Structure 1
Amino acid sequence: MKSRNWVRFFLSTLLIGGISSGIIGFVLKWGEYKDLFINFEIIEILSILFWLFGVGLIFSVISQMGFFAYLTIHRFGLGIFRSVFLWNIAQVVLILFVLFDLVYFRYQLFANETETLLPYLGIALYVFLVGIIVAFFKQKDTNKEAFIPALFFMVVVTSIEWFPALRVNEENWLLLMLIPIQMCNAYQLLMLPKFTNSK
């Protein structure tokens, strides 16, 4: 990738992280913020938006670090296993392990006596379904061999990037970090070939 295209790729991913965090932040706390819009308190709205945008830039940088780390890991995996088939099996095992962790270990650590497993199962299912959708489009854009690596990236790497919010386990922070990271990860995964092939 040429340096000019890399800069464009980096900045566009930053923008996605910032904008998505701004929108999601207002949606998640609409009950608190709606009076600001009703009373047309522009300064207050802009200050909150600026803060959310800045947080989104941080999420975007985390996402980009994870993406380039995964590109390296993927090459190492292919080199170690010396077979796409065996490397794909290893990735599927890791995907299942991470999904299990998202349900079982989070439930063990954070659930109280009245909570059921369903909310923990729901978030893991959501991460998996988003991964399936993005992997499907990646496979459609490239080839069928891209499905498992794309799913691995969208499930395993996203979960690793999401770890700071997972530790806090506060619902708004979980979603505020997860959704922008998913959007940045999906964008990078689907758009990288267009940037590498562009002149």
Structure 2
Amino acid sequence: MNLKNWSKLFLKTLLVGAIVSIITGFLLPFSRESISFKDAKDVLFYLLILFFFGAMTSVYSQLGFFAYMILNYTAIGVFRRKTWQYIQFALAVLALLEVMFFRSFVGKENSQTADLLLGVVILFVAVATAYFKVKATNPTAWVPTIFFMTAITVVEMVGALQINDNNATIFIVVPLLACNAYQILILHKLLKPKKS
């Protein structure tokens, strides 16, 4: 990964986060109640807030992505490759269980159905992302992709779970999942050596 590829990944992920945040920000209020703007300035200001929130979320996602890459590189040096895959799989399962029952454990009043649904959505996105990653690369990408899309995403969104508001959780999780999926799916293209 050279500086040119990293900056390309950074800017494109920033754009993915901003676009997904804008879409989520406009769809979320309309799903429960109507939102009213006084004039075009209000719409523009709301759009600007959504853009910068998505950009900030993408930076947070990229921190998690590079932390995972360092963790993966270190773990491959410490454990045998097969052992590291088992560890990743176990941690992915624990992360999903945590997200499904986190608010119950910390004593917050919340619908258990919403947490279970969140865990199922994260699992579904992780499996779909892993499927496309395996098609683009090789079968050994299953477990690392599932681990990254579940465990790392859950670590990144713990703050959103503590807010204890389903709309805030959705507003943070959707851009995070989009940015994480984009980064893991594009990584092999950035690391592929150019043909001379």
Give TM-score, length-normalised by structure 1. 0.90
CA distance in 2: counterparts of 1:61 and 1:111, whole angstroms: 28
Q: Does 1:117 align with 2:112?
A: yes
Q: Does 1:179 align with 2:174?
A: yes
Deviation by residue 1:49-73 (Cα, 9 ceiling, x = unmatched): 1001111111000000100110010
The structural deviation recorded for 1:110 is 4.9
Cα pair 2:137 2:188 within 8 Å, conserved: no
Deviation by residue 1:71-111 (Cα, 9 ceiling, x = unmatched): 01011111121x22111111111111111111223223355
Cα pair 2:114 2:166 within 8 Å, conserved: no
CA distance in 1: counterparts of 2:7 and 2:92, whole angstroms: 31
The structural deviation recorded for 1:116 is 5.5
For structure 2, the 5+ residue unaligned runs are none
Cα pair 1:110 1:169 within 8 Å, conserved: no
Match of 2:163 among 157, 163, 168: 168
Map residues 141-152 of structure 1 onto 2, 5 A cutoff.
141-152=136-147
Map residues 1-199 of structure 1 onto 2, 5 A cutoff.
1-30=1-30, 31-33=33-35, 35-36=36-37, 41-81=39-79, 83-110=80-107, 112=109, 117-197=112-192
Cα pair 2:103 2:162 within 8 Å, conserved: no
Give TM-score, length-normalised by structure 2. 0.91
Letter in 2 for 1:143: N
CA distance in 2: counterparts of 1:99 and 1:137, whole angstroms: 21
Q: How many residues align?
A: 192
The structural deviation recorded for 1:141 is 0.8
CA distance in 2: counterparts of 1:179 and 1:105, whole angstroms: 18
For structure 1, the 5+ residue unaligned runs are none
In structure 2, do the counterparts of structure 1 residues 110 and 175 end up closer, same or farther at CA, with 3 Å as the change threshold? Answer: farther
Letter in 2 for 1:24: T
Letter in 2 for 1:7: S
Which moved further from structure 2: 117-126 or 189-198?
Answer: 189-198
Deviation by residue 1:25-60 (Cα, 9 ceiling, x = unmatched): 111112343x33xx7x22111100100111111100
CA distance in 1: counterparts of 2:113 and 2:49, whole angstroms: 32
Cα-Cα RMSD: 1.7
Cα pair 2:108 2:164 within 8 Å, conserved: no
Cα pair 1:107 1:120 within 8 Å, conserved: no
The structural deviation recorded for 1:7 is 1.3
CA distance in 2: counterparts of 1:198 and 1:15, whole angstroms: 25
